[in-house]
Amino acid sequence: MGWALSLRQDFDGATLCLLARQTKDANQARRLLALASIYDGGSRSDAARLGSVTVQIVRDWVERFNTRGPDGLINGKAPGGQSKLSDTQRQALAKIVERGPIPAIHGVVRWRRKDLVQWIFEEFRISMDETTVGRELKALGFAKLSARPRHYAQNEMEADAFKKASPPLWRKFTAASRRALQ
């Protein structure tokens, strides 16, 4: 059986209770109060019951508290996975998206994420998912834009004639008729 870690000597139970009252983080306050009970003479199992955790987790809290102080009891953000693209590869991706595809070379008239996945694989031999490419593009400041859909059989001349023949509704009402409606 291992030795119990001792708590730092520069804090006491009253100080930790005060810090628990002042913090906005509920998890940090719970951990501070559990450690304050140890400072006040309680056992580690009492602190575990107070914090609704196991004794091993209380030991982890003590280690974090001893190394980083009260700030060590705040949950940090998980680091996440490493990016598949390096900074130079990201710059090359941004450059090619900004420049646009050359139909004779790239075989497409506009970049889709699917096409960029293929380009990244051909250029860097890195296989990526389309959603990952979308996240990379968003991080580079690009927005997903698409042209407004238009029916393939739409006649622009007829659309212009329709716009001229039917004026907007607000023009049909005169000032007198608007007052009558109110």
Question: CA 160 to CA 147: how far, in whole Å?
Answer: 20
Q: How many other C-beta atoms can be found within 10 angstroms of the C-beta atom of residue 14?
A: 11
Q: Give me 158's structure tokens.
A: 């007829």
> Taking the complete model, does pTM exceed 0.75, yes or no?
no
Taking only the tens place, the pLDDT of each residue in 46-98 is 999 999 999 999 999 999 999 999 999 998 888 888 889 999 999 999 999 99
Q: Can you give the pLDDT at residue 1?
A: 46
Question: CA 171 to CA 53: how far, in whole Å?
Answer: 71
Question: CA 128 to CA 120: how far, in whole Å?
Answer: 8
Q: Give me 169's structure tokens.
A: 């509704």
| Contact (CB, 8 A) for 12 and 26 | no
Residue 22 identity (one-letter amino acid):
Q
| pLDDT band per the 50, 70, 90 thresholds, residue 129 | very high
Domain parsing of the chain, residue ranges = 13-73, 87-139
DSSP class of 173: S
